Structure formats: structure tokens, C-alpha cells
């Protein structure tokens, strides 16, 4: 498969994924009946997380950092172990995604040189 064909396929897939995420977000928003105030609070929380992550000490793991961020919102958790288990699950999911993305990049490189 030529590089242009691969890039075109990736672009189409990326567009499909973006559209699916947008559709899912819209459906979730409707189901949860998120108010304008709720949207603002969500955006504020996301930006707070991003700012905190940028300032995260190099020697702190992503899991430790995320668990600490989650603990800032104790009202969201039914028990004390949930922030840790949720942080672990999220970080493991991201790690798996990154591993698969790197494998795909290596595969693409190998095709270019065949």
C-alpha cells in the first residue's frame, strides 16, 4: 500500500472517530441534561487538570498525579478506594493506546521500506 493511500485511510478513520466521539458526547449531554452552568464547571475542571498536569513533578507517576487530582473531588466517589482504582484504569488504558499507536507507526514504517 502506498504512503498516500495509508495517509488517506488514516484521515478517513480519524474523521470517523472524531464524528463518533462528537455524537457520543452529544448523546451523553442530552441524556444527562447538562446545564450551561454544568458545562462551564466541566470545562473549568478539565482546564484545572491540564494546568496541574503541566506542573506535575517529573518523578511523580501519572497514576499518582491523577489519583491526587481525583481526591480533590471527594463528593464524586462512593468510597476511598475509587480514586485509586479509577486512576489506575485510566492510566492503563492510555498506556495500551500508546503501545498500539506506536505499533501502528512501526508497521507504517516497515511498509514504506518494502
Q: What is the 3-state secondary structure (H, E, C) of 6-72?
A: HHHHHHHHHHHHHHHHHHHHHHHHHHHCCCHHHHHHHHHHHHHHHHHHHCCCCCCCHHHHHHHHHCC
The answer to whether residue 108 is domain-embedded is yes
Residue 1 has pLDDT above 60, yes or no: no
Quote the DSSP letter at residue 74. Answer: G
- 31-77 pLDDT, tens digit per residue, is 777 788 887 888 888 889 889 999 999 999 999 999 999 999 999 88
Q: How many domains does the chain have?
A: 1
- Of the pLDDT bands very low, low, confident and very high (cuts 50, 70, 90), residue 79 is confident
pLDDT at 91: 94
Cα separation, 67 vs 4, whole angstroms:
42
Query: Quick one: cell of 12?
Result: 478517513
> If you search the block for the grid coordinates 500508546, which residue do you land on?
98
Q: Is residue 82 part of a domain?
A: yes
Coil/strand/helix, residue 92: helix
For residues 77 and 83, the answer to whether their CB atoms sit within 8 Å is yes
In a domain, residue 99? The reply is: yes
Residue 104 domain-assigned? yes
pLDDT tens digits, residue range 19-29? 776 776 777 77
Classify residue 61: in a domain, yes or no. Answer: yes
Q: Is residue 9 part of a domain?
A: no
Q: Which residue range(s) make up the domain with 102?
A: 57-112
- Compute φ and ψ for 35, nearest 5 degrees: -80, 170
Residue 101: inside a domain: yes
According to the model, what pLDDT value does residue 57 have?
Answer: 94
Amino acid at each position: 500500500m502506498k504512503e498516500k493511500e495509508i495517509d488517506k485511510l488514516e484521515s478517513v478513520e480519524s474523521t470517523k472517530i472524531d464524528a463518533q466521539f462528537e455524537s457520543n458526547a452529544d448523546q451523553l449531554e442530552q441524556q444527562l441534561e447538562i446545564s450551561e452552568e454544568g458545562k462551564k464547571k466541566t470545562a473549568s475542571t478539565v482546564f484545572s487538570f491540564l494546568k496541574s498536569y503541566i506542573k506535575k513533578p517529573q518523578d511523580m507517576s501519572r497514576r499518582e498525579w491523577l489519583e491526587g487530582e481525583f481526591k480533590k473531588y471527594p463528593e464524586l466517589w462512593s468510597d476511598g478506594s475509587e480514586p485509586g482504582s479509577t486512576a489506575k484504569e485510566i492510566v492503563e488504558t492510555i498506556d495500551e493506546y500508546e503501545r498500539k499507536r506506536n505499533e501502528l507507526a512501526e508497521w507504517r514504517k516497515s511498509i514504506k521500506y518494502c
